[in-house]
Chain A
Amino acid sequence: MISSALKHLPVLQVVVPLLVAALCVLAGSRFLARTALILTALVMLSISLMLAGQVYPDGVISYALGGWPPPWGIEYRIDMLTVFVLITINLVNLAAAVFALGRNDDNLGRGAHAAFYAAWLLCMAGLNGMVVTNDAFNVFVFLEISSLATYVLIGCGRDPRALLASYRYLVMGAVGATFILLSIGLLYMHTGTLNLTDLAQRIDARGANRTVIMALAFLIIGLGIKCAMMPLHDWLPNAYSFAPNSVTVLLSGTATKVALYVLLRFVHDLFGVDHALSVPVDIVLVACAISGMLVAPLIALRESNLKRMFAWSSVAQISYIILAIGLGTGAGVAAALVHLFNHSIIKVAVFMAVGILIARTGTARIRHLGSVAHTHRFACYTLLFGGLGLIGLPGTPGFVSKWVLVSAVVERGWWWLAIPVLAGSLASAAYVWRIVEILWAKPADIPLQQTRSPLAFVEWFPLVVVMGLVLWFGLHASLVTGWAGLAAAALTGNGS
């Protein structure tokens, strides 16, 4: 029984949250839904770890859904890259789910709690589905599930502007999804297949033409919107700052990261970056990344809202990942993955600390938070250390990311790219220093109506665990870098 269940792990990763979400709605009980959310998050992380245990010794796992062999049926395909991303997002999900049990800052009506947790599970089912699948159309279907659930999760924020932010993201996201669907349709038209491995072979065999180039362009635009690549990032700052705190924590570590993973998979597997059909994909990605690295921290520096400031910092940090993807080399992919993981855990810790601060002080305006570090030490020190990680000081995971990225850049021969990377770090230092100065040294400009309630277990426990991970991976980088190297090898060995 157990051993037969182990064969089905790839599909259970997605189907378990999916069916539990339906059960939550069926039961309609807030208590049951909360319990189910935590248990399911635990099960999902365990499945990812077990999959890693299977893939590491045995190599790629292929799971033919419906028993139909690929390319006729839909295939789930697990390799080292897949499990790397799976573990990252399911770890974040577990931490965020526990955090969501605390004061959530949401605006849920009576009877909507069970449905809220169901939407959370549907979002995670969608994201996991996008990661494990090896089928282009299946990516789109699960993208739709996760996107719809994300829109509504954001719209649950207490501030009425959350609805507007959610609606703007819905419009942008729908445009992005349309571009992705068009792209998949064009690829199907050119090759007659939807299986990604088969697609890669048939594009190689049939060569490129204008239809394929258009498909590539639309794909980059669509996924660029979903992962908040610089000129297409417009939805992210408001969505992150008005969403309930736990949802911000969840999204910062999962949604954009999965879009980046899909970008990596499609662009590398199907087209290859450097010689991509004589289209300068690498130049486009690198140019967008540079603009994000330089512009976003400057906007963060002038931002008056603490949560939105860190949202802008996310736009900046995502640009580092896009830069690494744009390099098109194995080292570049590895650097992208290292930062994908490191940024996820740092940002999760930061947004949890921000959530705790906002719940205690009742405000997110930076000016009003003068000297709160003396009353809210734990949250503020977490913010400080997370901020150092975002800058990339030695001893933090951020330093590991920057080190690997700069090495990859130099190896690619584009050493001058190290200049914007370092300039971006300096700009991050400026905005982190600004809030440190205010939180510790500036007197508050208005008396805050602080609630001195002690930290609940569900608030400090996930934060302590994630901070522990941040500290540990800052000093022991070899696990992440080594794994990212293996994952990058899996990717570059697969397609072109």
Chain B
Amino acid sequence: MITTINALVDMGLLVVLSVSALMLVRCNSPLNTIILNALYSFTICSLFVIMDAVDVAFTEAAVGAGISTVLFLCVIHPDDESGRLFVWPGPLATVVALATGLLLVFGTFDMPLYGDPQVPVHTHLVTRFLEDSGTEIGIPNVVTSVLASYRGYDTLGEVVVVFTAGTSVLILLAAGHARQDSGDGLISNSILRVVMPRIIPLVILFALYVQFHGDYGPGGGFQAGVILGAGLITLALLTDSRIMQGVISERWIIRGMAGGVLVYGLVGVASMLGGGKYLDYSVLAQSSTDGQHLGILLIEIGVGITVAFTMLSLFVSFNRSGQTGD
């Protein structure tokens, strides 16, 4: 009975997913595209929850449905409805796309069944992660163990991807001029003026909770960084970023981006100096699990710093160049 209901919910979500993808392709208005994009992210996020991949779902909700929607909204003009975004693809493109689709269908015939416990994914490497990470690393959340320690170097790479993206935007938008002051932001809206100052501290507090709770449940630096970034962006939107400029200058936002990467990278250097391999946290403290705890704590902080400051930097850069575009 439960499996039937699960299957029905799965089917329903997959239908929503396909329909929103098709609508996204056909969409002609930038604003609707962004909304549909958020819908798509949110649907796939729900699917992740059903698959018990709450960590992934959390990230998708924060990044895919959350902050990228905000950043997209920053760069489009709400009344920019001119022109048709959608054009029918040419015959060759149609054939290629259909052939790729057919190849995908062809490939699915030999895929393992969904949820089958005997497939290699569940029997090869994962057994060690599930059975031994408790003693080898000593934290309950296996996802964090894999992400931050067993495959911690990949995660360093992911943080560098975020950092590279932030740096790229800086380079490309550096030609923009100083921001013109454009009024009072959203503070003139009385509802926002009353509600938001009460919510933003809670958002920042929640970010800290997510940051440090990653060892025990879904969470960690990526999600916390995005939530913190979103809180600060909301503050900036509310006050036309002048308060933000009083709190932190653009120069320091950029330094923060690089600082997080350095924190992560230097933890690796510290473990080399301690006699281990790069990012081997075991050598950072007396007992190896203490070392793992310390290492994971530090690198997650590095991740959080880089992600939060990159989000903020993207917002500030886009916002500034959007102003001068008028």
Contact = CB atoms under 8 A, between A and B. Distances in A.
B140 interface: no
Contacts of B175: 107, 109, 112
Contacts of A188: 121
B109 A22 contact: no
B219 to A, nearest CB: 21
Contact of A151 (B157, B168, B269): B168
B171 A192 contact: no
A189 B170 CA distance: 38
A66 B110 contact: no
A129 interface: yes
Nearest to B266: A19
Contacts of B124: 71, 191-193, 202
Contacts of B134: none
B7 to A, nearest CB: 21
A327 interface: no
A141 B161 contact: yes
Given A148-B165, A192-B121, A192-B123, A67 B276 contact: yes
A202 B124 CA distance: 10
Contacts of B77: none
B128 A72 contact: yes
Contact of B254 (A25, A66, A74, A129): A25
B254 A28 contact: yes
Given A25-B167, A72-B150, A190-B120, A211 B107 contact: yes
Interface stretch (B67-75, B185-193, B208-216, B277-285): B277-285
A18 B160 contact: yes
A129 to B, nearest CB: 7
Nearest to A63: B277
B190 to A, nearest CB: 39
A406 interface: no
Nearest to B261: A22
A450 to B, nearest CB: 28
A66 B279 contact: yes
B259 A214 contact: no
A316 to B, nearest CB: 23
A15 B265 contact: yes
A119 B172 CA distance: 12
B106 A28 contact: no
Interface residues of A, number: 67
Scoring B167, B170, B269 by chain A CB atoms within 10 A of each residue's CB, the highest score goes to: B167
A214 B254 contact: no
B150 A22 contact: no
A155 B168 CA distance: 10
B59 interface: no
A119 B167 contact: yes
A238 B278 CA distance: 40
Interface in B113-141: 119-126, 128-129
A209 interface: yes
B174 A108 contact: yes
B164 interface: yes
Contact of A189 (B106, B109, B112, B257): B112
Contacts of B173: 109
Interface string B145-171: 000011111100110110111011011
Interface of A: 4, 8, 11, 15, 18-19, 21-23, 25-26, 28, 63-68, 71-74, 107-112, 115-116, 118-119, 122, 125, 129, 135, 137-138, 141-142, 144-145, 148-149, 151-152, 155-156, 163, 186, 188-194, 202, 206, 209-215, 217
Interface of B: 103-104, 106-112, 119-126, 128-129, 149-154, 157-158, 160-161, 163-165, 167-168, 170-176, 251, 254-255, 257-259, 261-262, 265-266, 268-269, 272, 275-282
